[in-house]
Structure 1
Amino acid sequence: MTSTSQAPLAGLRVLDLSTMIAAPLAATILADYGADVVKVEMPGPGDHVRRFGAQKDGQGLYWKALSRGKRSVALDLRHPEGKELLSRWVTEFDVLVENFRPGTLEKWGLAPDDLRALNPRLIVLRVTAYGQEGPYAAQPGFGTLAEALAGLAAVSGFEDRPPLLPAYPLADIMAGNLGATSVLAAVQRRHATGAGDVIDLAIYEAALKLVEINILEYQQLGTEHGRTGNRYGPAAPRGSYQCRDGLWVALSGSTQTMAVNVLRTIGGEELVADPRFTTNTERRAHVEALDALISAWCAERDRPTALAELTAGGCAVGPLESVATMVDNPQVAHRGSIATVEDPDLGPLAMTGIYPRFQDATTSIGRPGPAAVGQDTDDVLARDLGLSADELARLREAGVTDGPSEPRDAIPGAV
């Protein structure tokens, strides 16, 4: 370990104007890596994600995780004084994240080019469902529509059932990670040029990476895949299989070696030599027969036994867990993949840790999303803009800002 250890993004300041999931997640990832992130919310209701999903004691649970490590400032950007404050404030930041419908910032007089005129080093990340231009650009959109447009739903599910949309914000999470990556690329470029940039991220384009293999195959061979359940077109065997005790395993034979190991484990050399299964092409052609053999083999064993035998045979296999069982999985527990973070309102909260791990750099999960909209408004604006107590009180009274006059539970180390 090095003698001096600090967070990878220590010193980077991020102003997060975004709502819901994709764009806020990009800012959360930057906060996890040590950036000082200030979350701007609308006075009164705050971010929509506060009311998204399950609630406890009137507080959104996902809000707690998605806004961890961020200080909350309530500022009405539609108000003339709110816009004036942002124009002064933006000079304090390296990165600005927003996901308003295209043209909204421009309508408010806060266009990225105008903000960069005030701060030429500013990096602006713009996240929308369809991007800043094109026939769909002005339409409202969420990750669900991005998944539909990108073709994910069309190949998800079973052949005799409707297209299947993910039961989780898949495209949003993809876009959030891609957004954070693009910001870091812009930061690296700024080291060389001294100039910021404007990044146009369409959520559906982040989702397209998931079906790139399908795109290439269609363009080159004219093949369009349908829905195949748990099977995977390019390789066999692949799927989930139920064991005698009712538990499930997941198995993948995506390489010739792995597929042969499965065949040998469940049927010996005779099955390895079976002409139906000697090559991936043949296995794909006879996938129903192959799946039936694996299913029958698993049905004769409890899951621990099936896992032990398949693992001993060099197979790529693992338990198919639910969230309830995943948290107790020995691999997950050993690495501490699920962190417990103390929240002043709800107590201990289970959430994902910071991934990936750094050998030398220090990372830590910041305070969960605060209960109060604008929890840190006065503290942050006083520090960054030198606003007096009287000025802060007047802005609250005018509805320009919001939040308690005496912030609590500040994020340690925040500047």
Structure 2
Amino acid sequence: MTSDGSSAPLSGVRVLELGQLIAGPFCGQLLADFGADVVKIEDPNRSDPMRQWGVIEQGKSLSWNVIARGKRCVCADLRTVEGREFVLRLAAQSDVVVENFRPGTMERFGLAHEDLERVRPGIILTRVSGFGQDGPYAHRPGYGSIGEAMGGLRHLIGEPDRPPSRMGVSIGDLLTGMHAALGTLLALRVRDRTGQGQIVDASIFESVLALTESLVSEYAVAGVTRTRSGAVLPGVAPSNVYTTSDGQELLIAANQDTVFRRLADAMGRPDLGDSAEYGTHVERGHRQAELDRLINEWAGKHTASTLLALLDEHAIPVGRVYVASDMLTDPQFRARRSIVEVKDDILGAVPMQGVAPRLSRTPGSVRWGGPQLGEHDAEVRAELASRSGTPADSGVDAGTGDRGMGS
């Protein structure tokens, strides 16, 4: 098993991942996908709760298998002197530390940025939290759901006559992990030029806020408050899910004027494309509901396969509303290896999403699935000893604390 990702973009970059659950570890997953040697530190007494989350098969969490893929797992109790010293020795040979504790926790551990820089000048500390490292809310515990609410996303999801809903994934955490990974890469780029490290401060509420387009500007300038609109965006039509005669759901997006004219031709109603009622984006937006009813009635006269072929012939953006079984059999997914099989000693070959984005010269890869607790202890200790000249078992705490490493 190699740890440097061969010729991947982040080959040779070592990342220490501290923390647990999703936001910080998803940042680590993305960096590992592109070849970084991500060494995940877990409390030996409690481990990362993700090991017990989601669907469990043969005693192993499939969620853990994905979010910990490509990482090496080592045990250390940060609440002990031995554990902290071990992490500092690893930090001395690392480029990045990723953590998602509550602000102030790293400082209490003696692992503040200045502590890390003393052993590794130029090191980057990527900090993931609910509300950022400063401000009146910084001390609050910050789950992804809270950041989604305060960042403006929850208010927009669901039907207008019902309370706010949520997505079926932890989107706030995942967005923050992506922003943290982006910030880490930017900081590495700066260090390449200047030799200086820095702190990357990624908060959940701001990561969600960044995805809300012109929501704030619309209110501040025009007095417009966006709200829940169900399956559509108000004024953007047609772009909705329509049901075929065999009960399949197709999303048809033809809101651009030229595309709508092609849809009108496909429907056998070329008059719609040039009509005063439907010929422009603005007018279609005014008649969104009636246009959706018209298209749904037409779609209901065709099977999904017939309609997909017809719309493809007319260059209309269309796609079935997929579930996992559809993705596993779709020829486009197969052609691009969008889903890869990762061998696992317990589960066998496990399909999961591949690496995105795709690089033509130096692509990333999924090297292995989520490891067992402490699986790489001996390997990492031996490397540390060989580089520092200390005994392989020196200073590594096997776990004597009575609490986990979360804050």
1:95-117 deviation line (CA, Å, top 9, x unaligned): 00000000001112211222123
Between the aligned partners of 1:399 and 1:219, the Cα distance in structure 2 is 51
Maintained 8 Å contact 1:381/1:387: no
Between the aligned partners of 2:281 and 2:218, the Cα distance in structure 1 is 17
Maintained 8 Å contact 1:20/1:49: yes
Q: Tell me the SS of whatever aligns to 2:319.
A: strand
Report the residue type matching 2:136 in the other structure: P
Aligned length: 395
1:54 equivalenced with 2:60 (yes/no): no
Once the two structures are TM-superposed, the CA of residue 158 in structure 1 deviates from its matched residue by: 0.9
Maintained 8 Å contact 1:339/1:352: yes
Once the two structures are TM-superposed, the CA of residue 44 in structure 1 deviates from its matched residue by: 2.2
Aligned residue for 1:299? 300
1:254-293 deviation line (CA, Å, top 9, x unaligned): 4222222223322422111332212111111110110001
Report the residue type matching 2:220 in the other structure: Q
Once the two structures are TM-superposed, the CA of residue 296 in structure 1 deviates from its matched residue by: 0.3
Between the aligned partners of 1:33 and 1:163, the Cα distance in structure 2 is 36
Between the aligned partners of 2:240 and 2:209, the Cα distance in structure 1 is 23
Once the two structures are TM-superposed, the CA of residue 380 in structure 1 deviates from its matched residue by: 0.5
Between the aligned partners of 2:12 and 2:100, the Cα distance in structure 1 is 24
Once the two structures are TM-superposed, the CA of residue 391 in structure 1 deviates from its matched residue by: 4.1
Aligned residue for 2:85? 84
1:396 equivalenced with 2:398 (yes/no): yes
Q: Tell me the SS of whatever aligns to 1:307.
A: helix
Between the aligned partners of 1:347 and 1:168, the Cα distance in structure 2 is 25
Question: Structure 1 residues 259-268 or 139-148, which shifts more?
Answer: 259-268
Once the two structures are TM-superposed, the CA of residue 31 in structure 1 deviates from its matched residue by: 0.9
Aligned residue for 1:126? 127
Once the two structures are TM-superposed, the CA of residue 54 in structure 1 deviates from its matched residue by: 1.1
Q: Tell me the SS of whatever aligns to 1:30.
A: helix
Between the aligned partners of 2:321 and 2:397, the Cα distance in structure 1 is 53
Once the two structures are TM-superposed, the CA of residue 314 in structure 1 deviates from its matched residue by: 2.0
Once the two structures are TM-superposed, the CA of residue 89 in structure 1 deviates from its matched residue by: 2.3
Q: Tell me the SS of whatever aligns to 2:135.
A: coil
Once the two structures are TM-superposed, the CA of residue 390 in structure 1 deviates from its matched residue by: 5.9
Once the two structures are TM-superposed, the CA of residue 387 in structure 1 deviates from its matched residue by: 4.8
Between the aligned partners of 2:100 and 2:217, the Cα distance in structure 1 is 30
Compute the TM-score of the two structures, normalised by the length of structure 1: 0.91
Maintained 8 Å contact 2:53/2:61: yes
Question: Structure 1 residues 37-46 or 107-116, which shifts more?
Answer: 107-116
Once the two structures are TM-superposed, the CA of residue 389 in structure 1 deviates from its matched residue by: 5.6
Report the residue type matching 1:192 in the other structure: R
Q: Tell me the SS of whatever aligns to 1:141.
A: coil
Between the aligned partners of 2:9 and 2:314, the Cα distance in structure 1 is 41
Q: Tell me the SS of whatever aligns to 1:38.
A: strand
Aligned residue for 1:411? none
Between the aligned partners of 1:178 and 1:262, the Cα distance in structure 2 is 38
Question: Structure 1 residues 217-226 or 180-189, which shifts more?
Answer: 217-226
Maintained 8 Å contact 1:91/1:119: yes
Report the residue type matching 2:384 in the other structure: D
Maintained 8 Å contact 2:342/2:352: yes
Aligned residue for 2:384? 384
Over 3 Å counting, the alpha-carbon distance change for 1:389 and 1:270 in structure 2 is closer
After TM superposition, list the pairs within 5 Å mapping 1:293-372 onto structure 2. 293-371=294-372
Report the residue type matching 1:384 in the other structure: L
Extract unaligned runs of 5+ from structure 1.
401-415
Aligned residue for 1:374? 374
Over 3 Å counting, the alpha-carbon distance change for 1:362 and 1:313 in structure 2 is closer
Between the aligned partners of 2:70 and 2:200, the Cα distance in structure 1 is 23
Q: Tell me the SS of whatever aligns to 1:251.
A: strand
Extract unaligned runs of 5+ from structure 2.
1-5, 403-407
Aligned residue for 1:64? 65
1:128-183 deviation line (CA, Å, top 9, x unaligned): 11111122211112111111111111111111221111111112221111211111
Report the residue type matching 2:116 in the other structure: L
Maintained 8 Å contact 1:235/1:253: no
Between the aligned partners of 2:378 and 2:249, the Cα distance in structure 1 is 53
Question: Structure 1 residues 260-269 or 278-287, which shifts more?
Answer: 260-269
Aligned residue for 1:103? 104
Maintained 8 Å contact 1:148/1:165: no
Maintained 8 Å contact 1:121/1:196: yes
After TM superposition, list the pairs within 5 Å mapping 1:207-356 onto structure 2. 207-356=208-357
Between the aligned partners of 2:209 and 2:401, the Cα distance in structure 1 is 42
Maintained 8 Å contact 2:238/2:291: yes
Report the residue type matching 2:391 in the other structure: S
Report the residue type matching 2:309 in the other structure: A
Between the aligned partners of 1:328 and 1:209, the Cα distance in structure 2 is 34
CA RMSD of aligned residues (A): 1.9
